[in-house]
Structures are given as C-alpha cells and as structure tokens.
Amino acid sequence: MEHLSNRTLASLDGKLPLPAYRLAEVKPQIGIVHLGPGAFFRGHQAFYTEQALQHGGDWAISAVSMRSADVSQALMPQDGLYTLAVLDSKTSYQIIGSVQEVLIASEQYAAVFARLTAPSTRYVTMTITEKGYCLNAAGELDLQHPQIQQDLNGNSQAVTAIGLLASALAARYQANVAPFCVISCDNLTDNGRKLRRALISYTLQKNPALANWLEQQLICPCTMVDSITPATDETLRINVTKEIGLQDNWPIKREAFVQWVIEDILPSERPAWQQAGVIYAADVSAFEKAKLRLLNAPHSTLAYTGYLLGYETVYDAMQDQQLVAQLKQMVTVEIIPSFIAPSELDVNQYSTAIFARFCNPAIRHLLAQIAWDGSQKIPMRILPVIKDNLAAGRDIQLLSSCLAAWFLFIRRRVSEGEKLIDPLVDNLLEVVSQCTGIANHDVPLFLALDRVFPTELSLNEAFSAAVKAAYQDLTIYVARRLSG
Ligand code: CS2
C-alpha cells in the first residue's frame, strides 16, 4: 500500500479535510520550532497551527525531539503528514500538514541549531513534560540537576531543552537577532514564568550580559492547554488505513474538546491562532489553576486509585460509582473552594463537563499513561491545593488520599515486578525497599522525598497526619473492595 506523503496527498481530495497549502505552488516556510513532538503536540498545537496556516503566513513547524528517533522515522518518509482522528459520538478524520520536518537534536544538532538561530524562527513552542524543565520543588531551575550540570560545564551539544534554548538564544544575541518567543504548553502552574526564570537563571551562570538581554527582551507567555490525547493503538492504525486508503505510520487520536489559552503578550506578528480558536487572556493563571485542579488532579487520583482497584482505563474507572462519588466530593469540598475561577468560567459546569469527558466511551485512555511521572505531576496538581487548603484551614483528607494512592500504587507496581516510569525511579525504589505497610512507618519515608515535597509540607504535622490516616484507610478500603 502507498504511503501518505506530499505525492499521494492529492488523491485524498474530497474525502477528508486536507492541508490545501501543501498542494499549492508556494508552500509556507518554517517559522516555529517545536520541542517534544509527542501525541499531545500533534493533536493540539500542530492542529491549531494547521488551522492557522489555512489563513496564510510562514508558520510551518520544525518539530524537534531531544533524543528519540521514533517520530522522525515515522513522519519523515511521509513529509511530516499524518492523520488526526477526533473521537466523538462519530469519529472524524483530517490530515495535518503543519509539521514540515522532524529533527533529532542528539543526531542532527547542527540542523536543529540552524533552525533555532534562523531569524525566520520567531516562536518556539514546547511539550517536554514536567520533567523536561529540570525544576526543583520550589519551581526554580535545579542547577544541581546532572543534565543541567552537564550542559553548564560542557562546550558541545546541549542535552536539556533549557541548555539548547539558552545556547540558541546566546547565538541570536551574538548575531543581533531578536530572541524567539518561547511558549510552554506543559501542565505546569505558571508555566511561562517558570520557563523564563529557568532560562534566565541558566544563562546567569554562563553569561550575565546575555541574562540581562533576556531579562529585557524574552517573552514567555503562560498558557493553558487541554485535550485528552490517548496513545496511538492498533485499532486506530487499522481505522485510519481503512479511512484514507494509504499507509500512515503514526496517526494521532484525541477527544473533540480542545482548548488553548495564551497570555496576551505575544509579539504582534503571530500565526492566525486566534482564528483557529486560541483564546488570548490578560491573566492565564486562573485558567491554568482551574484546569490543573479540576481536570488533572482528578485524573491523577483516578489513575492511582483506579489502578489499585484493578481498572485499566479512565472510562472503566468512571463506571465505579463509589470511586466517582469520592472524586466528586474531593472536587466539591476540597478543590473548588481552593481557588478563584476565571470570571468567564462557571466552575461547577466546567467540572461537570470534565467528568463527562472522562466518561467518553470512544476514548480508551490508559490509567497507566496518566500514572507515569507522578513525582513531577503531583507537585503541580495536588500539592498546591493542599498548601492553599492548609493555609485557609480547609479539609485535605481526600487530597491526602490521592497521595496515599500514589504511594500504594508505587509499592504495588514494584511488588508485581512492573516497571515504574518516573525520573525519580531510583529514589522511589529505595523508599519502597524500606516500606513495611505500616502507615506511621511508610508515609514519612515518602514525604522525605525532598524533590517532591517542600519542607513546608513534609514538616507540617497536620499534613503528615492526614496522609498517614489516608494511607491506612485506603489500604483497608482497597483490600476490602478487592476481596469482595
Ligand atoms: C493527563 C493529561 O497524562 C496525564 O497526566 O492528566 O495528559 C491530560 O489528559 C491532559 O492534560 C488533558 O488536557
């Protein structure tokens, strides 16, 4: 069977939406470099840019992975084209053409560097996940992080995204080219501000004049990104082949709901993202908080508790009425009162709609996928709510139960001989090796993970008492549920 590619694209005309600009005589030039070309990016930012490109402009994307060759191997033979399947009551398909090339930094460093330093590259967007930022528990760049150390002390290829962007910005500074605008699209609180501080604090170690220039000129808007994007599976590949009649090495699927809110500080020259549905807001933090607290916090809770109860997907776990009732209570009693929602959002409606999205039968979202990297996600989704609640004297019992579920999940994975996917895996395995199953003994071991729990929490008596109680209760609850 023939491949999806520039050459075969025209054969799909009339069958499904196509990137018409790819068929035109003059094609858009690259104006955006994206770091982290995973499924989320391909379902979300690349989709928005696809719509924007229909309005013209040189905003094609060069997608860069730091090390992995997978995406490049899959997409380069098909000229960066791929199919996006939107799963709703009916599935719809579309071909995305905004990704024009995929590069691998560790293998094609010079090409990546050339893209990043080209004056025509005016935006860098990134989905490198929480761990890619190399932050400490206070949300600052961890200057002791081994890879950051490697980049700070090395003279050749950077291995971290921060090191790579900082050296490209240094080259632009030398060449008198304005910095690109860097847009973090990861689920971090205050993602833009954290990224900006990380880049400047890295640069301060090497070149204070450059740091000063960045301080004056670097724009890193905060953003809120949202769309549930489960990993590609065999069923999707089969359906896509049937639909387009061509071989697509790596189609992507997501739910119909998609949202991108960007802090309104972008340079005036920008892709037609607004026409594509991007919302520009003066203050994104309220949107970010609403999404992290009402979607990602329940998601992680479902992932850990659902796993302990033997479920495989979000949809499966959402069929468990007891679990859903607890989740709703956590949201109503402990999360909604913890923050001030954006004025344009009705939080109750927003939260109800999120629960409905979790119940979409067309989406097979593995709990294991959400459970990954807990040490990076928990500090963004759960701990800020706990801190706010402790300060205001509100309950933290159900949020503590999410932490307990994470600890028990880690122990269960290890006891079942399953792999733990987490950048702190060695520290977690060390803790598990000392656990006995007794809350008073185990919980302090976990809370002593200082890259996860800041001392203001680990030393807080009320907090550790709540987590110990939750750990004990959950151990009993899970055993009862599994035996009954
Ligand atoms: C999920 C998110 O994997 C996870 O941790 O909670 O990827 C979630 O699906 C997205 O943030 C939804 O926008």
Residues 234 and 330 in one domain: no
Which CATH number belongs to the domain containing residue 73 in this structure? 3.40.50.720
Ligand 1 center to 365 CA (angstroms): 10
- Between CA 130 and CA 83, with CA 223 as vertex, the angle to 5 degrees is 80
Note whether residue 64 is domain-resident: yes
Tokens representing 49 are: 């840019």
Question: CA 9 to CA 73: how far, in whole Å?
Answer: 19
Residues 235 and 248 in one domain: yes
Tokens representing 185 are: 């699209």
Domain range for 162 is: 6-281
Question: CA 151 to CA 158: how far, in whole Å?
Answer: 5
Burial 146-160 (b: 16+ CB within 10 A, else e): ebbeebbeeeebbbb
**Ligand 1 site, residue 357, Cβ cutoff 6 A:** no
Tokens representing 162 are: 């921060």
Note whether residue 135 is domain-resident: yes
Question: CA 257 to CA 260: how far, in whole Å?
Answer: 11
**Ligand 1 site, residue 299, Cβ cutoff 6 A:** yes
Which CATH number belongs to the domain containing residue 475 in this structure? 1.10.1040.10
Note whether residue 159 is domain-resident: yes
> Any residues with CB less than 8 A from the CB of 451 and at least 6 apart, and which?
136, 137, 142, 375, 424, 427
| Closest to 126 measured CA to CA, from 87, 75, 161, 170 | 161
pLDDT of residue 137: 86
Ligand 1 center to 203 CA (angstroms): 31
Spatial contact of 17 and 95, defined as CB atoms under 8 Å apart: yes
What ipTM does this complex have?
Answer: 0.99
**Ligand 1 site, residue 378, Cβ cutoff 6 A:** no
Residues 307 and 277 in one domain: no
> Any residues with CB less than 8 A from the CB of 339 and at least 6 apart, and which?
286, 289, 290, 293, 385, 388
| Closest to 30 measured CA to CA, from 82, 84, 100 | 100
Ligand 1 center to 372 CA (angstroms): 11
**Ligand 1 site, residue 377, Cβ cutoff 6 A:** yes
Spatial contact of 116 and 41, defined as CB atoms under 8 Å apart: no
**Model confidence over 170-190: pLDDT tens digits?**
999 999 999 999 999 999 999
Question: CA 427 to CA 411: how far, in whole Å?
Answer: 13
Note whether residue 310 is domain-resident: yes
pLDDT of residue 344: 87
User: Which of the listed residues 265, 281, 297 is the one where a domain comes to its end?
Assistant: 281
Spatial contact of 47 and 20, defined as CB atoms under 8 Å apart: no
Residues 244 and 323 in one domain: no
User: Which of the listed residues 260, 281, 302 is the one where a domain comes to its end?
Assistant: 281
Note whether residue 66 is domain-resident: yes
Residues 209 and 273 in one domain: yes
pLDDT of residue 43: 98
pLDDT of residue 6: 96
Ligand 1 center to 367 CA (angstroms): 10
Note whether residue 1 is domain-resident: no
CA 285, chain centre distance (Å): 16
Nearest CA to ligand 1 atom 9: 228
- Between CA 457 and CA 467, with CA 462 as vertex, the angle to 5 degrees is 75
Nearest CA to ligand 1 atom 1: 370
Q: Tokens 């018409």, residue?
A: 20
Note whether residue 219 is domain-resident: yes
pLDDT of residue 484: 80
| E strand or H helix that includes residue 205 | helix 191-206
Closest ligand 1 atom, CA of 370? 3
Which residue out of 187, 226, 327, 369 has the highest number of ligand 1 atoms within 8 Å of its CB and is therefore the one to mutate? Answer: 187
pLDDT of residue 322: 97
Residues 297 and 352 in one domain: yes
**Ligand 1 site, residue 226, Cβ cutoff 6 A:** yes
Spatial contact of 117 and 79, defined as CB atoms under 8 Å apart: no
| E strand or H helix that includes residue 259 | strand 259-263
Cα-Cα-Cα-Cα dihedral sign, residues 63, 65, 71, 77:
positive
Spatial contact of 64 and 103, defined as CB atoms under 8 Å apart: yes
Spatial contact of 435 and 441, defined as CB atoms under 8 Å apart: yes
> Would you give per-residue pLDDT tens digits along the chain (484 residues)?
999 999 999 999 999 999 999 999 999 999 999 999 999 999 999 999 999 999 999 999 999 999 999 999 999 999 999 999 999 999 999 999 999 999 999 999 999 999 999 999 999 999 999 999 999 988 999 999 999 999 999 878 999 999 999 999 999 999 999 999 999 999 999 999 999 999 999 999 999 999 999 999 999 999 999 999 999 999 999 999 999 999 999 999 999 999 999 999 999 999 999 999 999 999 999 999 999 999 999 999 999 999 999 999 999 999 999 999 999 999 999 999 999 999 989 999 999 999 999 999 999 999 999 999 999 999 999 999 999 999 999 999 999 999 999 999 999 999 999 999 999 999 999 999 999 999 999 999 999 999 999 999 999 999 999 999 999 999 999 999 999 8
pLDDT of residue 290: 97
Residues 261 and 323 in one domain: no
Q: In Å, how far are 184, 222, 342, 382, 434 from 133, measured between CA atoms?
A: 10, 14, 27, 19, 30
Q: Tokens 């954290």, residue?
A: 194
Note whether residue 182 is domain-resident: yes
Would you call 207 exposed, middle or buried from its count of C-beta atoms within 10 A (0-12, 13-18, 19+)?
middle
Residues 274 and 296 in one domain: no
Q: Tokens 């025209």, residue?
A: 10
Number of domains within the chain: 2
Residues 164 and 277 in one domain: yes
Residues 362 and 479 in one domain: yes
Residues 269 and 131 in one domain: yes
Q: In Å, how far are 192, 208, 413 from 44, measured between CA atoms?
A: 18, 36, 31
Residues 114 and 208 in one domain: yes
Ligand 1 center to 389 CA (angstroms): 23
User: Which of the listed residues 281, 313, 334 is the one where a domain comes to its end?
Assistant: 281
pLDDT of residue 19: 97
Spatial contact of 124 and 157, defined as CB atoms under 8 Å apart: no
Spatial contact of 201 and 163, defined as CB atoms under 8 Å apart: no
